[in-house]
Structures are given as structure tokens and as C-alpha cells.
Amino acid sequence: MNLRVLARLIGIQRVLVRHGLDDLVRATHLYRPLRYLALASPWTWFQRRHGASRGERVRLALEELGPIFVKFGQAVSTRRDLLPLDIADELAKLQDRVPPFPGAIARATAEKAYGKPLSAVFGAFDETPLAAASIAQVHVARLIDGREVVVKVLRPGMREVIERDLEVLDALAALAARWWPGSARLRPVEVVQEYRKTILDELDLMREAANAAQLKRNFADSRLLYVPEVHWDLCRIDVMVMERIHGIQISDMAQLRAQGTDIRALAVNGVEIFFTQVFRHNFFHADMHPGNIFVLVDDPAHPRYAAIDFGIVGTLDPRDQHYLAENFLAVFDRNYRRVAELHHESGWVPPTTRVDEMESAVRTVCEPIFQKPLKDISFGTVLLRLFEISRRFDMRIQPQLILLQKTLLNIEGLGRELYPDLDVFQTASPILRQWMRERVSGRRLIGDLRTQLPELMTALRGLPPLVKGAVQRAQDGQWRLQVETDGIEALRETIRETQRRRDSMLLVAAVLLGGIVWLAVGRDPAWPGWALVAAASVGAFFARR
């Protein structure tokens, strides 16, 4: 662990202590020795804050620690069933009310990106932020033609701050992988690597604009979700311009009810949007906390979601997508043996796992949650029980699925707030079954063949010369079957090394024998015993080898 990482760890524990979060420091074994250093510091004595509530102190500490910690607070803020209410209320403020940076800096950043004054780009630009988040903040502007837009500007110095904290996570993951027995199953190094890709992608607003455009195409003909239009000619790596939408934030339940919104339809639509993105489109918004979700209530009986902030999106490997869908359906059907078999087939559990034992464990966790609405399900308990199962059967964490798992938790948290009586299983099951039927339909098969036909034709055009060449070599007696594997190559290298060593020993033996004979001739050429001495010496040399 280098000095930079160690300094950051000390800085983190100092922030926690300064905000009166001593219990968190004491609970973290790594920080326990450092805690006393901080408590002994007079600077810490005068800086500690005890007047604020517990929830406010947690929020202020996360804000001070930086974007990675703020994002953690945003992610857990949707799970009010798992958090004390005072902490959940404060963490909800991290969704869009992070302290902003000065509007003058945002203006300067945009002007640098465009290479000209903003007055030449926009008819108006409000330096007072509309919303501020962990990585960027949003300003209202008006185009030259009068259309209203929002301008998203990256916070200054974000890459350096995030790289520093990623270095800390890398160091902690490496320590865990080396010294923690459970690391082989939880794979901390791979998890941090996956998170690194996700968080660094957020720093490129051109990528976010492309994500928004893709999501808009996916839902172009849908009444479920609206995605704002991207103004591509005004987008840069650190500045993005989109259509401004006017909706009600999904967490504002009082306003939604005042508008006569059909809350149940809204909750059902949310589940349908999630499963449609994951399985039909294989492209899902993976940062669905309430600060990024609005509701359009032009028709309150048919409310429509509107999404913003597309910095984090997820996709799945087709194999993982298939196994996930099969797992969901098996759970919906209470086919717990199939759940166990799918985990075995996918390689998510070791091949020595007994299917019947895993079937019994999954049944024990899943059976109590059926026929119950969200309000009656303790997902905290379910998660803990599932974690116990994964540990018992040595189930390895799948880093590529972490984004999906995080999004699923966010969606379930939103559903709990919107409509606690929602039956998620009954809502999701028809969507998944329809997708599974479409995957094996004749129309899908014809579509796949049509898509792959050009590649197939190219391969077929290259086949005759290959066949002709093979036949010609066989007729000429030059046909040889070449088998190249890493094991064979390693064996060849071992044989070559043994041959080189043998040649070296023969050379040394020859020199040794020549030396002995030369000494013999020089001292007593008539004595025949020197031949025996020479032979014995060479034999002893080879025996040592």
C-alpha cells in the first residue's frame, strides 16, 4: 500500500470522526488503530460536529468524502425498508441536492468546450444550478431559436478525485484478495474493476448522450417511458445539452396524488419498463434513483415516466441474460430444483454442488415471499438469507451482474414507495414469458438468419478454395493434422531444456575426462589405474546430476 493510499485512508477516518461517526470507525478493523491518532489531534477536537442529527452527519460526511461515497448514499437511499428513516430522509437529499459549484465556473467550462462565449451558443443561460449531483450539475438555458434546454456540466477536477479513490479501492481489494478467506467467492478485485469501468464512463458526457439516444430509440413507440431529445451539435466530453422536460419527481407523492395520478398503473409500468429494458432491449438505465425519474401527468389515468441522467447503463451477455430469465421464471413457478440446476449449469456454483441440497435451501428462502405484497415482505431478511445460501454453496459473485442487481434493488425500492400492494411476480411473469416465447419463435429465427446471412454467404464464398487446397494436399501426401495446445508446447520446451542440459553435462564430462587423462599421462604414463580413476570420476559426476 503506497503513501497516497494510506494518506487517503487516514483522511477518510478523520472525516468520519469529525462528523461524530465514531461507531463506523470502531466497526472497521482497518481504521481502529488510526482512530486514536485522529482523536489525539487538537484540530479534530475543534472540528467535530455534534449538533446535527445522525442522518445529517452521515450525509455531510458522504458529501465531504466525494463522488464515489455520494453515489453509495444515492444507491442505498431508495431502500427505506433497510435504513433507519432519519438516515434515509437525509440520504435522499444526495439524489439531486449535493452542494453545487459556482455557476461562473460552469459557464467558463462550457465556453472553453465551445471555444466561444455562451452568448453565441444560447439565447440565455442561468448560472444558478437547477440541480447538482455528485459528478455534474445542470443549468437551464434557452437556444437561439427559443427552445428550452438543460445544460449538464462536469464538476471541475472530477477525474483526479475519482482516480484517487479508485486507487484506494484497488488497494483494499488487493488486501482482501490476499488475506481474506472469503475473497475467492466475493472476488473483490474483479468487482472493483467492474465499478472502475462504470464510474469512469460517467465522466464522458458524449457517451451519456449516446446512451440517451439509444434509450430514446428503444422506447420510440412506447407510452411507458419518455427520453428527452439530445442536441448533438452542442454536446462535448464535459458538456451535454438536452431537451428540458417538465414533470413531477417520482418521490413527490403528494403532488402525484393531487394531480389524480393512477399510482398503481405507475408502479406496474415501472416493473414493465425494467424487464423490457433488461430482456427485450438488453440495454437498461442503471442509475434509477428518484432524482433521475420524473412522471408526466398530461393524462393522469395513463402516467408516463421520463428519465434523465444516462451516465450509467448496463447490458448483459446473452448467456447471462438467458440464465437470469430462466431463473426468474423458475422462481415464479416455484420450480426450485430448476433454480438449482440453472446455477449449476451457468457455473455460478462449483460443479461439486449437490442440486438437491441447493433446491431445499432456495425453497426455504423463496417460499415465504409468495402471495404477499411488497409491504409484507422483509427484503432485508431475504437478502441476508440469500447471502447465507451463497456462502454455504461457495457461490461466486458475478461482477458483470452487479449493475443489474443494484438496479433491481432501486426498482423494488421505488415500487415499495409508490404502491406497496404491488405483486411484482404477477406483474413481471407475463413479460418474461412473452420474451421467452419470442426467443424461440419462427419469426425470431428468420430474423436472426436474415441478420447473419451476409456473414454466412461470405464464409461460404471462402469455403471452396479451402476444400480444394485440402484435397490437393491429401492427394500429394502432404496432409498433416496439426494439434497445438499450451500443454504440448510446454512439454516441447521441457524436452528442449532437458536436451540442452544433457549436452552441457556431456561437454563438462568430456573436459573433466580429458583433464584427468592429461594429469595421468604427465605423472605416470605406465600406470593403468588412471583409467579407473577417470571412469570413476565421470561416473560420480553423472550420479550427482
Over the stretch 326-384, which tens digit does the pLDDT of each residue have? 888 888 888 999 988 988 888 878 888 889 998 998 898 888 877 677 667 655 556 55
3-state secondary structure of 390: helix
Q: Do 10 and 38 have their domain in common? A: yes
Q: Do 150 and 178 have their domain in common? A: no
Q: Do 300 and 209 have their domain in common? A: yes
Tell me the one-letter amino acid at 398. Answer: Q
pLDDT of residue 544: 46
Q: Do 118 and 130 have their domain in common? A: yes
Structural domain of 146: 103-156+204-314
Highest mean pLDDT of the ranges 228-232, 335-339, 399-403, 420-424 = 228-232
Number of neighbours of residue 89 by Cβ within 10 angstroms = 16
- Specify the DSSP element, H or E, that contains 148: strand 148-154
Find the angle CA(15)-CA(130)-CA(92) to the nearest 5 degrees: 45
pLDDT of residue 116: 95
Q: Do 407 and 425 have their domain in common? A: yes
Residue after which a domain boundary falls, among 34, 63, 88: 88
Flag the least confident range among 77-86, 257-266, 388-397.
77-86
Give the 3-state secondary structure of 395-460.
Answer: CCCCHHHHHHHHHHHHHHHHHHHHCCCCCHHHHHHHHHHHHHHHHCCHHHHHHHHHHHHHHHHHHH
Residue 147 has pLDDT above 60, yes or no: yes
Tell me the one-letter amino acid at 181. Answer: P
CA-wise closest residue to 198 among 209, 210, 207, 187: 207
Q: Do 139 and 247 have their domain in common? A: yes
Residue after which a domain boundary falls, among 395, 424, 442: 442
Q: Do 310 and 239 have their domain in common? A: yes
Cα–Cα distance for residue pair 468/545, rounded to 1 Å:
53
Q: Do 280 and 298 have their domain in common? A: yes
Q: Do 324 and 228 have their domain in common? A: no
| Composition of the chain by helix, strand, coil, percent to 5 | 65, 10, 25
Q: Do 427 and 527 have their domain in common? A: no
Going by their DSSP bridges, the two strands 293-296 and 313-314 should be labelled as unpaired
Query: In the structure, what pLDDT confidence band is assigned to residue 121 with cuts at 50, 70 and 90?
Result: very high
With respect to residue 496, please indicate whether it lies within any of the assigned structural domains: no
With respect to residue 240, please indicate whether it lies within any of the assigned structural domains: yes
Query: Would you tell me the crossing angle of helices 402-418 and 263-275 to the nearest 10 degrees?
Result: 170
Query: In the structure, what pLDDT confidence band is assigned to residue 202 with cuts at 50, 70 and 90?
Result: confident
- Specify the DSSP element, H or E, that contains 104: helix 103-114
Reading the block at residue 163, the C-alpha cell is 482516480
Mean pLDDT of 54-82: 77
Number of neighbours of residue 220 by Cβ within 10 angstroms = 8
Q: Do 341 and 306 have their domain in common? A: no
With respect to residue 487, please indicate whether it lies within any of the assigned structural domains: no
With respect to residue 239, please indicate whether it lies within any of the assigned structural domains: yes
- Distance spanning both ends of the chain, measured CA to CA: 44
Residue 542 has pLDDT above 50, yes or no: no
Q: How many residues does the chain have?
A: 545
Residue after which a domain boundary falls, among 392, 417, 442: 442
Q: Do 235 and 300 have their domain in common? A: yes
With respect to residue 422, please indicate whether it lies within any of the assigned structural domains: yes
With respect to residue 459, please indicate whether it lies within any of the assigned structural domains: no
Q: Bigger pLDDT: 153 or 200?
A: 153
CA-wise closest residue to 135 among 305, 314, 292, 251: 292
Q: What is the dihedral of CA 392, 386, 365, 324, to 10 degrees?
A: -110
Q: What total of structural domains would you count in the chain?
A: 5
Residue 204 has pLDDT above 80, yes or no: yes
With respect to residue 9, please indicate whether it lies within any of the assigned structural domains: yes
Write out the catalytic residue numbers.
Answer: 287
Q: What is the mean pLDDT of the chain?
A: 78
Q: Bigger pLDDT: 131 or 35?
A: 131
CA-wise closest residue to 293 among 113, 178, 418, 461: 418
Radius of gyration of the chain (CA): 33
With respect to residue 359, please indicate whether it lies within any of the assigned structural domains: yes
pLDDT above 90 coverage of the chain, percent? 25
Query: In the structure, what pLDDT confidence band is assigned to residue 55 with cuts at 50, 70 and 90?
Result: confident
